[in-house]
Amino acid sequence: MKALRRLSWERFFLLAADVASISASTALTWWLRFRSGYFLDVEPYRLPVWPVLLVSSLFWVGIFALRGQYRKLYHVSRFRSVQEVAGSVGVGLLILLLATYDPSRGMLGAGRFFLLSYGAVLVLGAGTGRVLFRTVQKRLLERGVGQRNTVIVGSGQRALDLERQFHQHPGMGYRVMARLDAESMEGLEQVIRQYEVAEVVVTEPERELLFQVIQRATSLGADVLIVPDLHGLVLGNVKSFDIWGMPVIQVFPHLMAPWQFLLKRLGDVLAGGLLLVVGLPLMVALPPLIRWQSPGAPALFRQRRVGKGGQEFTLYKFRTLHPEEHRAREGEHSPPPVLPNDPRLLPFGRWLRRYRVDEWPQCWNVLRGQMSLVGPRPEQRALVEDYVRRWPLYARRHNVRPGMTGWAQVRQHYDQSLTRLEDKLGLDLFYLENMSLGLDLKILLFTVRTVLRGAGR
């Protein structure tokens, strides 16, 4: 099939990128260590360059392949690519350290430090190569090059939203060739053959329908993806264990170890304190500018929000709306969300929101333990009670501290409709299910990109 031939070419280019970056990292490490004059180490032996580069490339490509890094060419972010490289380099270094261990020289010798420095350069070099590959791949996908022919199976609103999302974001790599419902499943095989479909996405995973899709699609070499609803997310977020031999299932377990929560809190305190110190000039300069645009009104906006355990706290932000709008927001009801060109915005408030500067005072909430850098967005009590009545799972968000930024905030704009809210709840549940320090770092990098682009709201 054409799709399989394309995958072979993409795998070849990924392999070529790895070989180039591994060779460059190996050559750079050898030059820095033995030929640059920066170190006193004597070059242990002189060999032609190309055999060394060939052997090192074969070794590391073999490690990458054994860890499955050439199996999945799509659905891998640049951040995840660097994580995979770092993990593979760690495994390779462990093998090299064990293979070159000499009891007479001990564990800490010049050769051991050379290997460790080589690993650091390799992570940087091969990681950069992977980032460049994924960046080029995404740019090509946005231009329609390399997209996977896709069929959506589903007839509801979720299927329509997914099809619109694929059309609006070609960088995701999906070219929708058809959308089928349960009644037109007989034509699935013909559509897969006709359009050489690479992936079938199911948005209504009823058991009988799902079995039909899997059987027919996989027999023709197409991958099957399932888009779960909230019920599916709940069923997926479980952990099994036994009590005196009786198997039971725990729903919504704590997926982060206590030491990770401790590191997360320590990072919040350090980063929150640093941001407050760095932002001290803003804390001094911005209040007079805000009061100048709306005389007689306070520069800081205060509002009660619901945090961890359902406890309320006072959230602080720089004021960005006209005073009467902020007074409305401090009341029991909530006005419509703020849009990019909203007339309720102060002229200076527009800039504060674009670069997320209005949220800087929340660092004080972070230091006090009321918020975290990363977590679900905190809401007002009245909104929370309304949301919980509509979706009882909404209360699950209060098992952790709310965040200045979060997975839902970087992946989706703030609530604009009940449908959007349900999607956002799904993103929050995904974060709670996959909480990790690595995911927090990824969210922070997304947030920094949003700030640098001035894409905040």
36-87 pLDDT, tens digit per residue, is 666 666 666 666 777 888 889 999 999 998 888 887 777 778 888 999 999 9
**In-domain check, residue 16:** yes
Q: Per-residue pLDDT for 444 more than 60?
A: yes
Residue 338 pLDDT class (50, 70, 90 cuts): low
Q: Tokens at residue 58, please? A: 């074969």
Q: Are residues 308 and 180 in the same domain?
A: no
Q: In this predicted structure, what is the pLDDT of residue 59?
A: 93
Please provide residue 248's backbone torsions phi and psi, each rounded to the nearest 5 degrees. -135, 165
Q: Are residues 169 and 278 in the same domain?
A: no
Q: Are residues 285 and 339 in the same domain?
A: yes
Q: Are residues 398 and 435 in the same domain?
A: yes
Q: Are residues 215 and 296 in the same domain?
A: no
Kindly state the percentage of the chain with pLDDT values over 70: 79
Q: In this predicted structure, what is the pLDDT of residue 332?
A: 45
Q: Are residues 262 and 223 in the same domain?
A: no
Range(s) of the domain holding residue 193: 148-227
Q: Which residues pair with 312 in a beta bridge?
A: 306
Q: Are residues 381 and 425 in the same domain?
A: yes
Q: Are residues 47 and 121 in the same domain?
A: yes
Q: What is the mean pLDDT of residues 192-217?
A: 82
Q: Are residues 137 and 160 in the same domain?
A: no
**In-domain check, residue 9:** yes
**In-domain check, residue 284:** yes
Q: What is the mean pLDDT of residues 164-183?
A: 87
Contacts of 133 (CB under 8 A, 6+ apart): 13, 14, 17, 81
Total of domains in the chain: 3
**In-domain check, residue 439:** yes
Residue 243 pLDDT class (50, 70, 90 cuts): very low
Q: Are residues 318 and 217 in the same domain?
A: no
Q: Are residues 361 and 409 in the same domain?
A: yes
CATH number reported for the structural domain that contains residue 178 in this entry = 3.40.50.2300
- Is 315 or 206 the better-scoring residue by pLDDT? 315
Q: Per-residue pLDDT for 245 more than 50?
A: no
- Is 243 or 40 the better-scoring residue by pLDDT? 40
| Averaged pLDDT of the chain | 81
Q: Per-residue pLDDT for 238 more than 80?
A: no
**In-domain check, residue 237:** no
Domain boundary residue, one of 87, 117, 142: 142
Q: In this predicted structure, what is the pLDDT of residue 231?
A: 58
Q: What is the mean pLDDT of residues 428-443?
A: 87
**In-domain check, residue 279:** yes
Domain boundary residue, one of 142, 176, 197: 142
Q: Per-residue pLDDT for 341 more than 90?
A: no
Q: What is the pTM of this model?
A: 0.68
**In-domain check, residue 72:** yes
278-301 pLDDT, tens digit per residue, is 989 888 888 888 888 777 778 888
**In-domain check, residue 189:** yes
Residue 410 pLDDT class (50, 70, 90 cuts): confident
130-144 pLDDT, tens digit per residue, is 999 999 988 998 888
Residue 244 pLDDT class (50, 70, 90 cuts): very low
Q: What is the mean pLDDT of residues 377-398?
A: 84
Q: Are residues 323 and 448 in the same domain?
A: yes
Q: In this predicted structure, what is the pLDDT of residue 313?
A: 95
Domain boundary residue, one of 126, 142, 158: 142
